[in-house]
Amino acid sequence: MRFWQDTRIRPLPYHRGFLYFVTIDNALRKASGGRKSRDDLILAMLHRRQRDKPLGIADWEALLRDNLGEDAVRQLHAMLDGAAPLPASDAFGPCFERISQPMRRYELGFAPAVLTESPPLVRDLIPDSAAAKAGVQNGDEITRPVGQDQLQGGSRMAY
């Protein structure tokens, strides 16, 4: 299956990237006593690029190593290997607390790729899904497709 056809997967890299940079930002602020943030690392990468120097993962690793140590490089590779970044409870400030709450996984109720096809005809309907209970049937044409990313994403991420 193609990445962009499955609306359940498409927003995942954005969510993971957001959480990764929140984690990096929090670690930098703590390590520097508030003098540095992720912006300093991003600007360093930007300045390198503006000098027409190539950018690669080794450049990011060097910045992490210089500012946060080898553990930050290990965390980067863990994230790249599939581990979900988990920001500290106070990563958004002292007034916030991270909590875990079980949430129902978003389920369209039929093959998500249908929404990218022309015409969009329902197939692979899941029998007990909300779509099936609402009367949707295999072969139905979706006449007004709705983007799924916002319905399932936003601040209600589930991994």
CB 84 within 8 A of CB 158: no
Question: Which backbone phi and psi does 121 adopt, to 5 degrees?
Answer: -110, 130
Peptide bond before residue 120 is cis, with ω within 30 degrees of 0: no
- The CA distance from 53 to 140, in Å, is 53
pLDDT value, residue 155:
44
| Encoded amino acid at 130, one letter | A
Write out pLDDT tens, residues 20-75. 999 999 999 999 999 999 999 999 999 999 999 989 999 999 999 999 999 999 99
Beta pairing partners, 121: 141
pLDDT above 60 (res 81): yes
pLDDT value, residue 104:
81
Q: Which tokens go with 4?
A: 């962009």
Question: How many helices, marked H, and strands, marked E, lie in the chain?
Answer: 6, 0
pLDDT value, residue 23:
97
64 burial level (CB within 10 Å; 0-12, 13-18, 19+)? buried
CA 99 to chain centre: 18
Write out pLDDT tens, residues 84-135. 999 999 999 999 999 988 988 778 899 988 888 889 999 999 999 999 999 9
Residues 6+ apart with CB under 8 A from 153: 11, 14, 15
